[in-house]
Chain A
Amino acid sequence: MYDPTVARLTYRALLGRRRALILGALPLLLIVISVIVRALVGADDQTASDLLGGLALATMVPIIGVIAGTGAIGPEIDDGSVVYLLSKPIKRPTIIFTKLIVAIAVTMVFSALPTFIAGLILNGNGQQIAVAYTVAALVSSIAYAALFLLLGTVSRHAVVFGLVYALVWEALFGSLVAGARTLSVQQWSLAVAHKVAGGDLVTSDVGLPTATVLLVVVTVLATWYAGQKLRSLTLAGEE
Chain B
Amino acid sequence: MAVEHPVAAPSGDQTRIHNIGYRSYDGPRLGRSYATRSLYSQSLRGAYGLGRSVKSKVLPMLLFVVMCVPAAIMVAVAVATKAKDLPVDYTRYAIIMQAVISLYVASQAPQSVSRDLRFKTVPLYFSRPIETADYVRAKYAALASAMFILTAAPLIVLYVGALLAKLDFADQTKGFGQGLVSVALLSLLFAGIGLVIASVTPRRGFGIAAVIAVMTISYGAVSTLQAIADAQGSTSAIPWIGLFSPVTLIDGLQSAFLGASSAFPGAVGPGNGEGVVYVLAVLGLIAACYGLLLRRYKKVGL
A144 to B208, CA, bound (A): 18
**Contact residues in A for B203 (Cβ distance below 8 Å):** 75, 78
| B225 adjacent to A37 (CB under 8 Å) | yes
Binary contact track A28-41/B, C-beta < 8 Å → 1, others 0: 01000100110011
Q: How many Å from the CB of B294 to the closest CB on chain A?
A: 21
**Contact residues in B for A60 (Cβ distance below 8 Å):** 217
| B103 adjacent to A66 (CB under 8 Å) | no
A160 to B206, CA, bound (A): 10
Total A-B pairs, Cβ < 8 A: 89
Question: Within the complex, which residue of A33, A47, A70, A160 is in contact with B221, where a contact is CB–CB below 8 Å?
Answer: A33
A128 sits at the interface (CB 8 A)? no
Within 8 A of A (CB), among B88-114: 99, 103, 106-107
Query: Residue on B with the closest CB to A54?
Result: B224
**Contact residues in A for B228 (Cβ distance below 8 Å):** 37, 40-41, 47, 51
| A54 adjacent to B220 (CB under 8 Å) | yes
B204 sits at the interface (CB 8 A)? yes
**Contact residues in A for B216 (Cβ distance below 8 Å):** 59, 63, 167
Query: Residue on A with the closest CB to B215?
Result: A167
The DSSP consensus for interface residues of chain B is helix
Query: Residue on A with the closest CB to B200?
Result: A18
**Contact residues in A for B99 (Cβ distance below 8 Å):** 167-168, 171-172
Q: How many Å from the CB of B121 to the closest CB on chain A?
A: 12
Query: Residue on B with the closest CB to A74?
Result: B205
| A41 adjacent to B232 (CB under 8 Å) | yes
**Contact residues in A for B213 (Cβ distance below 8 Å):** 22, 26, 63, 67
**In the complex with contacts A40-B228, A239-B55, A160-B103 CB distance below 8 A:** yes
A19 sits at the interface (CB 8 A)? yes
**Contact residues in B for A36 (Cβ distance below 8 Å):** 225
| B52 adjacent to A239 (CB under 8 Å) | yes
| A55 adjacent to B206 (CB under 8 Å) | no
**In the complex with contacts A163-B103, A167-B99, A172-B99, A66-B206 CB distance below 8 A:** no
Q: How many Å from the CB of A88 to the closest CB on chain B?
A: 23
| B221 adjacent to A159 (CB under 8 Å) | no
B42 sits at the interface (CB 8 A)? no
**Contact residues in B for A74 (Cβ distance below 8 Å):** 205
B122 sits at the interface (CB 8 A)? no
B53 sits at the interface (CB 8 A)? yes
| B212 adjacent to A167 (CB under 8 Å) | yes
Q: How many Å from the CB of B75 to the closest CB on chain A?
A: 21
A66 to B203, CA, bound (A): 14
Question: Within the complex, which residue of B103, B205, B227 is in contact with A164, where a contact is CB–CB below 8 Å?
Answer: B103
| B212 adjacent to A19 (CB under 8 Å) | no
A36 to B59, CA, bound (A): 39
Within 8 A of A (CB), among B41-80: 52-53, 55-56, 59
Q: How many Å from the CB of A3 to the closest CB on chain B?
A: 24
| A29 adjacent to B221 (CB under 8 Å) | yes
A205 sits at the interface (CB 8 A)? no
| B221 adjacent to A55 (CB under 8 Å) | yes
A12 sits at the interface (CB 8 A)? no
| B205 adjacent to A51 (CB under 8 Å) | no
| B205 adjacent to A70 (CB under 8 Å) | yes
Known: A74-B205, A159-B209, A168-B99. 18 other contacts (CB 8 A): A26-B217, A29-B217, A33-B224, A40-B228, A51-B224, A54-B224, A55-B217, A59-B216, A63-B217, A67-B206, A71-B205, A71-B206, A78-B205, A159-B205, A160-B59, A160-B106, A163-B212, A239-B56
A-B contacts, 6 of them at CB < 8 A, read A47-B228, A55-B217, A55-B221, A63-B217, A163-B209, A164-B103
Which are the 8 A-B pairs with shortest beta-carbon distances? A159-B205, A159-B208, A59-B220, A67-B209, A239-B53, A74-B205, A63-B213, A160-B107
